[in-house]
Amino acid sequence: MLWQEKNKRIRVCIAAIVILPVCAVTCIVQAEDDSTFPHEHKIKAAFLYNFLRFIDWPKEKTGDANESVIIGLIGKDVFGDAFDDLKDKTIEDRPVVLKRFKGIKELQKEDKDKKPEQNLQIEAVRKSHLLFICPSEKQHRKEILNLVKGYGVLTVADTEGFLESGGMINLLTEDNKINFEINVTAAKQAGFQVRSKLLRLAKRVYEPKDK
């Protein structure tokens, strides 16, 4: 794998992704060092931040200008400290906050004796503006998508077939490049407006027919 090649250094354009307009989102990763630090996830973290910038949420999700913009991670966290570069970032003057959640089965097990409306962790997941479904939750992604359906949550993953499962954005790593694909139909049905700049940069715009 590229990330594990010896005697090579990974040069990443994280700063450009975070600071420059959306045209800088697509990033080529070149190697030059034996470092095994997960730079891949730093880039993906920057992608998530940029998705927040170039997608408009339903009004009911952005009504309180004093509330934070929440990036949620559900499942086994693969990012580590990759979000450190995004500390103190804002979206329209609202601070961006990262929240980590256990896998869906663990959350449900902890609250198995409670009614669904009493499950505070589940409610916290639903309050996310963007929810990244970690690879550990691949087998449960349909359940997670149903869990947040109707709550104005932008769903993102980096697993094959995510868009076909009803997810909204999927990150891709191909030919030493990280890119993304969008299920524009799922996004629109959830009340999101995906800006044209982001759509033009997508590797694939998926528009399944309504069933």
* Tens digit of each residue's pLDDT (9 = 90 or more) over 45-57: 999 999 999 999 9
Confidence bin at 10 (pLDDT 50/70/90): very low
Residue 92 lies in a domain: yes
Predicted pLDDT at 108? 82
CB 13 within 8 A of CB 177: no
Q: Considering only 17-21, 47-51, 147-151, which range has the smallest mean pLDDT?
A: 17-21
Q: How many independent structural domains does the chain possess? A: 1
Q: Please report, for the domain that includes residue 115, its CATH number.
A: 3.40.50.2300
Q: How many CA atoms lie within 13 A of 81 on its CB side?
A: 3
Long-range contacts of 159-162 (CB under 8 A, 24+ apart): 159/133, 159/135, 162/133
Residue 32 lies in a domain: no
Residue 12 lies in a domain: no
The model's pLDDT over 84-124, given as tens digits with 9 standing for 90+, comes to 988 889 998 999 999 999 999 998 877 666 665 557 888 99
Contacts of 182 (CB under 8 A, 6+ apart): 163, 168, 169, 194, 198, 199, 202, 204, 205, 206
Residue 194 lies in a domain: yes
Distance CA 163, CA 183 (A): 6
Higher per-residue pLDDT: 62 or 142 = 142
Residue 120 lies in a domain: yes
Range of the domain at 103: 56-206
